[in-house]
Structure 1
Amino acid sequence: MSEVQRGWLEGPYTHEQLTSRFGPLYVASPRFGLRQSDKTRPIDDMSASLVNSSFSPSYRLELDGVDSIAILCRTFAGMVGKDRAVSVELSDGEKLEGQLHSSLTLEDAATLMGRTLDLDSAYKQLLVRESSLWCSVLQVYDPDGCPHLFVSQVLPFGASAAVYSFNRLSRSLQQIGTRLFGQVWTSYFDDYTQIDVAASGSNPQQVAESFLDLVGWKYSMKESKRMPMSSSFAALGVEFT
């Protein structure tokens, strides 16, 4: 019901009400709770209702995992020579070359820091297309064991199509941040690992958060997730130092 108050769900509805709205062939998927360390996460079981079976992706997900973070750090730290020349070879063989900025020493260029930026309730920031609402109905049991029907207005957590749809948007945020705001970061669903020279201080965090504020995406403000840039940081369950 708290999700109803936040506008994520509509309902509860009766079968007759949904039949009047969507017709008799709407699909209801069961929701269950997955107990985690500090909370119970609602899972919308689109596999049980066969909604997931009706989806087939036409492309492969591109995710920046732990290896991508390690390679980015290694490239960043090793691209400056002792003569202060900067050289980076791209995947197509093209080389980007220049000189280290006069404000940075060689030690500055090799001293890195990082952090992870986490989007807040990431799936819930994207809407379900109106024409697809008929298959985003959820069936939830109340404490007395009575079933109730709700319509999910936001991406269901448990839908295969939602995984691909969300990743397209999260990857676009990463690309925009990189190309327009000079962010050096990786994208893994709703986690963005930021890397920069320690001399930049808190600037990378400020730029990233200001960018997301500008385009209307919410990021986690929890102290445990909104960590500052640091020479030792956790990303995707791995400690980088």
Structure 2
Amino acid sequence: MPWSGHRVVMAGFVIKGYEAISSSDHNTLLSLGFHPPDLSTGDLVRHGDLAVLERPRFLAPTVPVIFELFAGTGRVTACLRRLGLHSAHGIDHVVVPEASSTPLIADLTTLEGQQLAMFWISNPLLSAVFAAPPCGTCSRARDIPLPAPHSGPAPLRSASYPDGLPSLTGPNLSRVQAANACYEFLAQVATLCHTSLLTACRAAANQQPKASKFPALVPEHRSVVLVRGPRAALAALPCEPMSRLKAAWTVPACCSCTLAQIPPDAQLLRQTPLSVNKGSLPDATQPSFADAEIGELAWGIPHSPEAFLKAATKAGPKGLAKFRDEWFEKWEARAIELEQAEKDLKASSLEPGALVSRRFGILQGTGDDAKARLIDDMSASTVNSAVQVCESPQPHSIDVIGCLLLECLENFPRDRFLGRSFDLKSAYRQLGLSEDALQHAYVAFYDQEDKLPSIHQLSALPFGAVRSVHSFLRVSHSLWEIGCSLGLLWACYFDDFPVVAGDSTAGNTTSTVTRLFNLLGVSFNLEHFTSGRVEVSNTASR
């Protein structure tokens, strides 16, 4: 339909696979006016929870933040990341070819770009700033005369005119002005760094002034309300200053306040005289609340227990993260101790009396979706006839997953939850065989290249053995049990592990599952992802 005035189009969509984009394609998008997300801030900037007028906010609770201004090729940032400082980021106005790292895009010669960069640099976890501002306009090399007939670049500045010669015009004037803007901005950054880092050092040494202490993760009071009115109406204080109310206090009708009643546990923060009849006081006497005609009371309104718990959880569940880190430190150390034993287990050779089973392939699916699945016929070699099981572990049904989601909805009805499914790759192939089973784990197949039968020993569960399903389900349930001990809200269905987490713990939950699987030598893919409304259905192929 027709419109008048300016038309603004906002797009909130990023194509899948953006992480594979090349530097030249990235520059093309920028030249066309697009503002693609920068992958280098994927672990710091949340794009999913931004309000319409809210800038991206850094969410790096435990790592130092380092910036490289005028990054260019970003080699400093790349080196810092290689050393493990993944919160290091470059800032520049373009992505140059052959860049070692992708910078945040901000033109520091413009006010808009400076404001954006200053927003990033103002992060409370700032630890260092590297800066290599452009020096072409102020280089003393311009003052070096060259032998005739050569002529070098003309000087653009002097000791008398450090901000640029008065005679500058055209491109030279534009270059000097742009460089001056960068230098002025860098001076602001230096001032900010000096103030911020000095405050941080004082805090670490417990020497910072009271008024400069870092704010608490959750403020002590939900809000502060003011009661103003005649001193006579406020003379009988319901409690002493800095004390808390034992019971609710009704605000006098002649006083102004946003609340009709001050709730219990509210704290009287201060009492201030607003209007004093100075004619009744000696000149050297300071006015007091008792002498005021009009007074003001400031009350700190407390959080409810539920609201405080929710705010504390949102501010950062450090206790759960600390518990998970300590658990992994213990078992990752044990994994290092077992590395040699794992190598010895994988070493194998064909031994006398070994049972050899037939391997063949079957084609599943049609067209482009067709894939070959290898089957190890353990029945023909009588291996399946020699084993039995006394129990049958069951995977979690859709009822278990549904009950888990219902519990989350009932206990946290207003919280935002995220969901993700971790799918094990080649699940059977990730579970090794015991030493006693290795002599029965040989398979033979016809080698199409050598035109000869080939025999190999399996080191992982064969697809075709009776005990493979039983053993895999036991391991799958064990993984689920370990995750539950780490506070994960998840279930297991064969090789799929659906997990849900609150918005404040989603990042730590993802890293916990990833770290757990890496510790146990399990690989997975993250193709399935869902958030918001919970939908349960069969796949399209079923």
TM-score for both structures, normalised by structure 2 = 0.32
Q: Quick one: distance in 1 between partners of 2:505 and 2:378?
A: 45
Give 1:130 shift: 2.1
SS in 2 for 1:134: helix
CA RMSD of aligned residues (A): 3.0
Which residue of 2 is the match for residue 73 of structure 1? 405
SS in 2 for 1:116: strand
Q: Quick one: distance in 2 between partners of 1:27 and 1:234?
A: 47
Which residue of 2 is the match for residue 97 of structure 1? none
The answer to whether structure 1 residue 172 and structure 2 residue 478 are counterparts is yes
Contact 1:28 1:138 in 2 (8 A): yes
Q: Quick one: distance in 2 between partners of 1:220 and 1:203?
A: 17
SS in 2 for 1:132: helix
1:1-241 equivalences under 5 Å are 18=350, 21-23=351-353, 26-36=354-364, 37=369, 39-79=371-411, 106-108=413-415, 111-143=416-448, 146-179=452-485, 181-213=486-518, 215-221=519-525, 225-228=526-529, 230-231=531-532, 237=538
1:149-174, Cα deviation, whole Å (9 max, x unpaired): 21112211221112222222221111
Structure 1 alignment gaps of length 5 or more = 1-6, 12-17, 81-105
SS in 2 for 1:30: strand
Contact 1:120 1:219 in 2 (8 A): yes
Give 1 or 2 for the bigger CA radius of gyration. 2
Q: Quick one: distance in 2 between partners of 1:128 and 1:153?
A: 6
More strand by share: 1
Q: Quick one: distance in 2 between partners of 1:74 and 1:39?
A: 38
1:200-222, Cα deviation, whole Å (9 max, x unpaired): 44332222112222x2323224x
Give 1:38 shift: 5.1
Between the two proteins, what is the percent identity of the paired residues? 31
1:179-226, Cα deviation, whole Å (9 max, x unpaired): 1x210111122211112234544332222112222x2323224xxx44
Q: Quick one: distance in 2 between partners of 1:187 and 1:236?
A: 17
Give 1:132 shift: 1.8
Instruction: Tell me: CA distance 1:165–1:234, structure 2 relative to 1, closer, same or farther (3 Å).
Output: farther
Instruction: Tell me: CA distance 1:228–1:59, structure 2 relative to 1, closer, same or farther (3 Å).
Output: same
TM-score for both structures, normalised by structure 1 = 0.67
1:89-123, Cα deviation, whole Å (9 max, x unpaired): xxxxxxxxxxxxxxxxx411xx4431110223322
Contact 1:8 1:152 in 2 (8 A): no
Instruction: Tell me: CA distance 1:236–1:32, structure 2 relative to 1, closer, same or farther (3 Å).
Output: farther
Structure 2 alignment gaps of length 5 or more = 1-344
Give 1:238 shift: 5.3
Contact 1:9 1:154 in 2 (8 A): no
The one-letter code sitting in structure 1 at the alignment partner of 2:355 is V
